[in-house]
Amino acid sequence: MSITLTVNGRSHTIDVDPSTPLLYVLSDDLALRGPKFGCGLGQCGACTVLARGRAIRSCVTPVSAMSGADITTLEGLGTVERPHPIQQAFIDEQAAQCGFCLNGIILTAKAFLDQQPNASEAEIQRALSGVLCRCFAHTRMLRAINRYAGHPVPSRAGDAGSATGDGEPASLWTGGVK
């Protein structure tokens, strides 16, 4: 079946089984590497894309459900020369380690803040609670998201790469509470 998708501002007509996960079309047919296969169940957020202004999990979304929708991947936010402001905030805060989860974190934060531009840090943390990350760069990520949201950016004091600053893992988006 032929399905037309608009991805990152470009129209693509793909001949594909309508039940194929959107993620497979994005990665296999369109060679986009921002959304990643993580859990395959829509639970980790690595496959997140923006569609109709919302963050969705592309690994569990049939491509047929996105026919005619505007889809944005991490690659579609900005360019190397002109990163989107949220991407620039992550660069400025050096808010990455392995990078596997960044796609889901950045796109989830962007979609949430587009809908709730005056959200508190606690609301942002709740919005991000469905995105899994195991590299413990959370404090830097939260600083980057706060920078993008126009919130005061917490100091880097005590940041040893973990959410608690003591080298010990903490719950992802709980502000470092163990």
Domains defined for the chain, CATH in brackets: 2-77 (3.10.20.30), 78-178 (1.10.150.120)
pLDDT class of 176 with cuts at 50, 70, 90: very low
What pLDDT sits at residue 136?
67
pLDDT, tens digit, 9 for 90 and up, residues 43-96: 999 999 999 999 999 999 999 999 889 999 999 999 999 999 999 999 999 888
What pLDDT sits at residue 153?
80
Assign 3-class secondary structure to the chain: CEEEEEECCEEEEEECCCCCEHHHHHHHHCCCCCCCCCCCCCCCCCCEEEECCEEEECCCCEHHHHCCCEEECHHHHCCCCCCCHHHHHHHHCCCCCCCCCHHHHHHHHHHHHHHCCCCCHHHHHHHCCCCCCCCCCHHHHHHHHHHHHCCCCCCCCCCCCCCCCCCCCCCCCCCCCC
pLDDT class of 166 with cuts at 50, 70, 90: very low
pLDDT at 165 exceeding the cut of 50: no
pLDDT class of 164 with cuts at 50, 70, 90: very low
pLDDT, tens digit, 9 for 90 and up, residues 120-161: 989 999 999 989 887 767 888 888 999 999 988 866 655 544
Cβ proximity of 114 and 148 under 8 Å: no
Largest CA distance in the chain: 55
- pTM here is 0.83
Q: Which amino acid is at 19?
A: S
